[in-house]
Structure 1
Amino acid sequence: MHLLARHQIPEANKDISAMQGVLSASAKQYLFREIKMRRPIILGGNPYIMDYHRKTAKELFDETGGNSGNLAFRFGVANQLVNPKFLSFSTPTTEIKKQGDIIILPLANQLGKHTDLAHAADRLAEINLPVIGVGLGAQTDSKDSDVVLTAGTTKWLETIAKLAPSASANIGTRGEYTKYQISRFGFESSAIVTGCPSNFINFNTDIIAQLAKGFRSRPRNVAVTAGIPFIPSLSKLEQDLADMVSVTGGAYIVQHGLQMLQIARNEFDLIPADILELCRNYIAPSKKMDEFITWCRQYAYAFYDVRAWMDFVKRFDFVVGTRFHGAMLAIQAGVPAACIAHDSRTQEMCETMGIPVCHYKDIQGGLTLGNVFDYFSFDEEKFRACRQQLCRSYISIFDAADVEITKGLRGLAI
């Protein structure tokens, strides 16, 4: 496919001239040259779960990579590219090369001692196509410490850097902290800060004014982005959040942990008794087990389609909890939302993108409907400026690689 930069259409030329002053250097170069666009393949990141209503929580847990929040950034990338193909890592190399010319990897918190990506590194080297990775994050307990990588994950990072489609950066990071960690391994020029692709799901900038207006009113109907029952330091906070759901007739939206997904799908019989008791004690210790199960049936939800998820949260006037992508999807729907951070990944993403955030250690004396906005505020102009600048950096990765993006995404950078 070829695109000729200046078509012989006066209106188009006027539009291009008007845009020159606000576009990045890479975008200007993109507009005024003849380009053979690469055909993008999104590898291992399909956001569309087929027949999810027929599947068990375990099947859905596996298909979403252990966290339904992964669907958020996968959906973002899929809707920002023009005609991407979705293929799995197990697709034969010959078929991959027949389907496209460049690999797009929607990424998460792969940089950490919890991963060993040697197999993925070998697979990318075997395919041997140019690679773009977006949304990469480093995971540690605190941003005050450096990330530790296994040999396999170090090899994976090196492989992606080597397979860059141009001399420009081909890895979009969640923030400066991750970019710095990448530089420690010798790949500083490979990375650029873009935030998470989920920040650019909604191409309508009117949502920013909606968010600001929402933060000027105390919440009455709250949805919670639920945590997991294996972090003892967060148990009191999780109980406060669950109480807010009960008080407001809200929703308890789960993303991660097989037992949490099972709770939201009424699969209580499949949860080991000791794990179910752990969940009850973590979320609602004052309730008896039968009361807890009834509460879950009333308030617990899980989503496997980003569109349905965003549509659902529009009925609430505030979303809060420890899950970043649950909050981000609310924000993309124009619903005020905030994150409670407990590690480097959530803190970094929120600070990078201007998402309201508070570290759990800074919440003293409990979280209630009456004091929740004392811990969170929304800076409309900061969010707007951050989003625009991050979008320009994000677009620059695709422009440098000759990958066609949607008009909606490009419009966010103007």
Structure 2
Amino acid sequence: MRILLTGIPSYLQRTVARVSGATVHHKPYFDDIRSKKDLVDQVKKIANTGNYLIGEGAAYALRGHDVTYVPFWHLVNSRGANDVYDALNKEFDMCVFASANLLRPGYSADLEADVFEKLKMPVLVMGIGIQKREGLKENLPAGTLRFLEVLKQKESFFLTRGYFTAEFLRAEGMKFVKPTGCPSLFFAPNEMRHSLTSLANADLASAQKLALGGYLGSVADTIVDAHALLKPESVASYVIQDEVVAYNLTLPVDDNAPVYDRSSGRITGKTEYKHQEKWQRQNELMVFFDTNQWRAWSSTRDLCIGRRFHGCVIGMQAGTPSLMIAVDDRMREMLEFIGFPYIEAGVWNREADKKAHLANFLSKIDAQAVTERYSACEANFQSALKQVGI
């Protein structure tokens, strides 16, 4: 099958130089990232570095087929060029659209509606989910409703992040809807199972090399976590995903000033953000634009913990024990579907003795049950792909 893959990309989209018609031209290198401008621009291109895992997982699920990643921006920019869409419709048998929290009040999917109206082929929407359950239907923008109507009128398939999204889409009249979880969950299944087993047996007394994630620049939660879990002499390692564009974590230097060491993935320039003065540990800020480098670094950690779903998933892909602190409906939907152990942020934030609470929580994990649940979800994902013809 000849598959047009679009939507959220893997880190390999950084090599795309240009697209003409149905042909994608790649550079034989990645653009350098050293200066403040380089770093911020690269984050803006993906919006959130955790998205790389979604695109990578979607592409990996299609292995064995003739797959071409066509940037979504090319499909959008070519809406008025019938010859481009004629070439695309002739070249490909199916479009796979890697998605995430598309169903949300703050985003109108007008462009997606336009694109899929012009693509005359079956469409598989992979990984679609919601941002917030409450009042979802009443608050969806007109563009998103049109996007759903366009797909309803053609041969379309939906693999959702969880049960609630599946129920919503079925109620909207979509015929093929399967809850499968985010495709990133099935990129490295053996390592994921090892991570789950290791989490149940994690040694918190010696776990001092942590990968931390959250919303630095907005709230002080992760700083509090670091103080609770790390000894005074330990270094807190925090991984940035979108903070420099979405949560007011700034680099107060000239745009051309060097701020990033690409070899280590460490931000070396000066940073400023809310609650920065609360730190009582040495700390370092990391950011990765290559998932292999991110996984390699994660494999050196004793534990990944935080409020970022994909910031923990990549730790699991590296086989590192990882625990998520659920902060919103999108995380809960994915976690409840896949059956991973997690702690509610409201409960965790109120705990006076976080280390003791965490030790007690980990001691109650049934490693066999969670790994069996994961394996069943993996089989369900593969079964859904086969039903679609992939």
Q: Normalising to structure 1: TM-score of the pair?
A: 0.73
Q: 1:126 to 1:100 in 2, by over 3 A?
A: same
Q: Distance in 2 between matches of 1:312 and 1:163?
A: 43
2:309 to 324, 336, 349: 324
Mapped contact 2:226–2:236 kept (Cα < 8 A): no
Letter in 2 for 1:59: D
C-alpha distance in 2 between matches for 1:182 and 1:270: 47
Post-superposition offset of 1:61 = 2.2
C-alpha RMSD over aligned residues: 3.0
Whether the 8 Å contact between 2:5 and 2:96 is mirrored in structure 1 is yes
**Paired residues of 1:254 and 1:261 also in contact (CA < 8 A):** no
Q: Distance between the aligned counterparts of 2:315 and 2:184, measured in 1? A: 11
> Is the 8 Å Cα contact of residues 5 and 98 (structure 2) preserved in structure 1?
yes
Give the 3 Å change call, closer, same or farther, for CA 314–253 of structure 1 in structure 2: same
In the alignment, structure 1 residue 224 sits paired with structure 2 residue 217: no
Shift in CA distance, 46/352, structure 1 to aligned 2, threshold 3 Å: same
* CA distance in 2: counterparts of 1:161 and 1:389, whole angstroms: 29
Contact 1:245 1:299 in 2 (8 A): no
Do the aligned partners of 2:96 and 2:125 also contact (CA within 8 Å) in 1? yes
Question: Who is 2:166 aligned against?
Answer: 179
Distance 2:184 2:333 in 1: 15
Provide closer, same or farther for how the CA distance between residues 383 and 95 of structure 1 changes in structure 2, counting only shifts above 3 A. farther
Which residue number corresponds to residue 106 of structure 1? 98
Contact 2:103 2:130 in 1 (8 A): yes
Structure 2: distance between partners of 1:367 and 1:85: 50
Per-residue deviation at 1:338? 1.4
**Mapping for residues 361-380 of structure 1, pairs under 5 Å:** 361-363=346-348, 364-366=350-352, 368-375=354-361, 378-380=365-367
Cα deviation, 1:329-354, whole Å, max 9, x if unaligned, reads 11121111111122100111111112
Deviations 1:60-98 (A, max 9, x none): 12321x111110111111122124101023243134234
% identical equivalent positions: 20
- The aligned amino acid for 2:274 is N
Higher strand residue share: 2
**CA, structure 1 residues 366+59, in 2 after alignment: closer, same or farther (shift >3 Å)?**
farther
Q: Secondary structure at the match of 1:229?
A: coil
Q: Which runs of 5+ in 2 are unaligned?
A: 16-29, 76-83, 256-268
Is the partner of 2:277 in helix, strand or coil?
coil
The superposition leaves residues 193-232 of structure 1 with CA deviations (integer Å, 9 ceiling, x where unpaired) of 101101101142x6524532343222332110132434xx
Decide whether aligned partners of structure 1 residues 178 and 388 sit closer, same or farther in structure 2, where only a CA change above 3 A counts: same
Measure the CA separation in 1 of the matches of 2:147 and 2:71: 17
Return the letter of the residue paired with 1:87. V
The gaps in structure 1 that reach 5 residues or longer are: 1-37, 404-414
Q: Is the CA contact (8 Å cut-off) linking 1:223 and 1:316 kept in structure 2?
A: yes
1:402 corresponds to which residue?
A: 389
TM-score, scaled to structure 2: 0.77
- Aligned with residue 239 of structure 2, among 253, 260, 265: 253
SS of the aligned residue for 1:255 comes to coil
Instruction: Say which structure is richer in helix.
Output: 1
